[in-house]
Amino acid sequence: MNAETEYGKTYNFSEIKSREDFVQQHPLTFISHYKSYVDKMMEGKDDILTKDKPIIFAVTSGTSGTSSVLPMTQRQRINFFVQGVAVVYHSMLQAFPDSRKLQKSLKFFYTPRWRTCEAGVPVGPNSSSPTNTRQLLNVYSTPKAGFEILSEPEALYIHLLFGMKDKHIGMLEANFSSIILSSFKALDIHWKDIIEDIEKGRVNPNLKIDDDVRNELDKVLKPDSSRAQELREAFEGGPIGLAKRIWPNCHLMLAADSGSFELPANILRETYCKNLPIYSPLYAASEGLLGVNVWPLKHPSHYLLAPKSMFFEFIPVEHCKEDQPATLFLDQVQLGEEYELVISTAGGFWRYRFGDVVRVTGFYNQCPIIEFMYRQGQFLNVRGEKTSESSFYQALSKACESWSDIKLVDYCCCESILIDDQGSSWKSYAPTYYVFLELDGSGKLTAEQKNKIDEILAEQSYVYKSFRNKGSIRPMVVKIVRPGTFKELREFTIETTTASANQYKIPRTLKRKEAVNFVLDRVIKGD
């Protein structure tokens, strides 16, 4: 159907009769390949990449690299619902029968700031937001007026206020587990004010929101001293298991918990959401639906690829450095192997290397089941060693096991080339990794505890160990940052990039010098 588009004519789509023809005739592509075509579409020109007109131009988060714009068609949105949301809902009902009860959900998501391109099409994030789920807003605890608040701190306060007011909340939801964790961190600060609002039946007068929104919210609040007392008693028990004390009938947390979200998910499991199952339902991106998790009770989360949503190809990781490596099809991948995913989408991106690396963990009939590993570019690579995000996190997690009373709150890394002060010693000219840790605990890490991360990484990675032994990479530099740094980094990133609050991903490997300097400014003095 796209043979007569400008792109289809350029690449002779009319001559393609099989998947083999497609691979032989069309090169592997990166995002830069599509910019001129997307620019034309945003100007209002038709039949460029696809016959279907875009319904939005999706802006990627930019937190793990450079932000990009991708066209999204109605066909993709329908596929996302039919192949993704509907399947997940069925799986959720089977695994968690209490989901059938008529309970509200507390969903932490925010209305993005949209713009309109020359073609009159909205431009903004493609992640779940109040804008693209208007038909479902009634199932959430936040009144519709609350979703009109565009500033995140105020909107979050309203989410928490109405969520805590409803004792019978059945589910906590967000795109990512990190959003739910940061929401509980905000609750640590504001819970007394929120309880006072519930007791008095009003929205906090110090909250900076429009009067018309405030009036609508005040209409649905009534003084509730009984609920206020229940909440005070819930908070007396501390953070461990807090969610179940606030909402005794809550049966599920719905949020992504794999990749860079594994750490915040694990913190939630150990603290606020202890004894509350976490279900990571979808493997998705701005490009659309990639996979569904039909095993809600299994951990770590695995996803069944969705071949009716996209056409998949796979590049063995050992060939990722090549510009045009040979690819494998769905029926050719091997169990236990890691691959860079290549996708062709209904939005007109063909044989597109969008950066995700996955591991095949099994097969459902003939369709691969995968585990997300890391994003290309989210690795440390000062000497060609390419230490992946997952490899570094495994080493860090193992080192954390020896920290008796100190818990890891969050972390990120960068390559020393982004650090200005390299010292005066000739040895310092060898590159290294800078690691920034935010800790929860009264103690401090000893030099030995910090060095343990480097030692374990060398044990796990032969390539890293060889460079360390030769002195080509010097010992990693571990810095402790002050509490709240990663919350502030999130706010800084949202303010200075195109990322929205709904799609922010924790950048485990910092690539922007501005972000590096931001974190460096928050290193605890003397550390």
Q: Nearest-CA neighbor of 258 among 358, 345, 387? A: 358
Cα–Cα distance measured from residue 342 to residue 329, given in angstroms and rounded to the nearest whole number: 10
pLDDT of residue 91: 96
Q: Is residue 23 part of a domain?
A: yes
Cα–Cα distance measured from residue 240 to residue 390, given in angstroms and rounded to the nearest whole number: 27
pLDDT of residue 429: 64
pLDDT for 394-417, tens place per residue? Answer: 999 999 998 888 899 999 999 888
Neighbours of 340 (CB within 10 A): 22
As beta bridge partners, residue 116 has 122
Is residue 43 predicted with pLDDT exceeding 60?
yes
pLDDT for 319-346, tens place per residue? Answer: 998 999 999 999 999 999 999 999 999 9
250 contacts 170 by C-beta, under 8 angstroms: yes
- Which among 355, 375, 395 is the end of a domain? 375
- Which among 276, 302, 324 is the end of a domain? 276
Is residue 126 predicted with pLDDT exceeding 90?
no
Cα–Cα distance measured from residue 331 to residue 351, given in angstroms and rounded to the nearest whole number: 17
Query: In terms of DSSP bridges, do strands 105-107 and 387-388 run parallel, antiparallel, or are they unpaired?
Result: unpaired
User: pLDDT grade, residue 128 (50/70/90)?
Assistant: confident
Is residue 425 predicted with pLDDT exceeding 50?
no
Q: Is residue 88 part of a domain?
A: no
As beta bridge partners, residue 87 has none
Distances (CA, A) of 140 to 54, 89, 93, 137: 29, 16, 18, 6
Cα–Cα distance measured from residue 180 to residue 473, given in angstroms and rounded to the nearest whole number: 37
Angle between the N-to-C axes of helices 262-270 and 177-200, in degrees from 0 to 180, rounded to the nearest 10:
40
**137 and 267: one domain?**
yes
Backbone φ, ψ for residue 341 (5° rounding): -80, 140
Q: Is residue 82 part of a domain?
A: no
Give the helix/strand (H/E) hosting 269: helix 262-270
**136 and 261: one domain?**
yes
Is residue 377 predicted with pLDDT exceeding 80?
no
Angle between the N-to-C axes of helices 513-520 and 485-496, in degrees from 0 to 180, rounded to the nearest 10:
150
Radius of gyration over alpha carbons of the chain, in Å? 24
- Which among 276, 294, 318 is the end of a domain? 276
395 contacts 451 by C-beta, under 8 angstroms: no
pLDDT of residue 66: 59
Q: Is residue 83 part of a domain?
A: no
Q: Quick one: residue 153, left, alpha or beta (phi over 0 = left, psi -120 to 50 = alpha)?
A: alpha
**221 and 163: one domain?**
yes
Instruction: Report residue 377 as tokens.
Output: 């570019």
Number of domains in the chain: 3
478 contacts 437 by C-beta, under 8 angstroms: yes
Cα–Cα distance measured from residue 58 to residue 69, given in angstroms and rounded to the nearest whole number: 5
**19 and 71: one domain?**
yes
**452 and 352: one domain?**
no
**337 and 465: one domain?**
no
Q: Is residue 92 part of a domain?
A: no
Q: Is residue 86 part of a domain?
A: no
Q: Is residue 91 part of a domain?
A: no
Mean pLDDT, to the nearest integer, of 382-404?
A: 87
**21 and 166: one domain?**
no
Neighbours of 100 (CB within 10 A): 10
**384 and 369: one domain?**
no
Task: Write down the mean pLDDT value for the chain.
Answer: 91
User: pLDDT grade, residue 424 (50/70/90)?
Assistant: very low
Give the helix/strand (H/E) hosting 188: helix 177-200
**392 and 366: one domain?**
no
**141 and 235: one domain?**
yes
Neighbours of 446 (CB within 10 A): 10
Least confident of 96-100, 109-113, 374-378, 415-419: 374-378
**360 and 390: one domain?**
no
Instruction: Report residue 53 as tokens.
Output: 């007109």
Percent of all residues in the chain with a pLDDT value above 70, rounded to a whole number: 96
Domain that holds residue 474: 379-520
Is residue 228 predicted with pLDDT exceeding 70?
yes
Cα–Cα distance measured from residue 279 to residue 299, given in angstroms and rounded to the nearest whole number: 9
**299 and 256: one domain?**
no
Strands (E) located in 250-347: 252-256, 278-279, 282-285, 288-292, 303-305, 311-316, 338-344
Q: Is residue 87 part of a domain?
A: no
- CA 32 and chain centroid, separation: 23
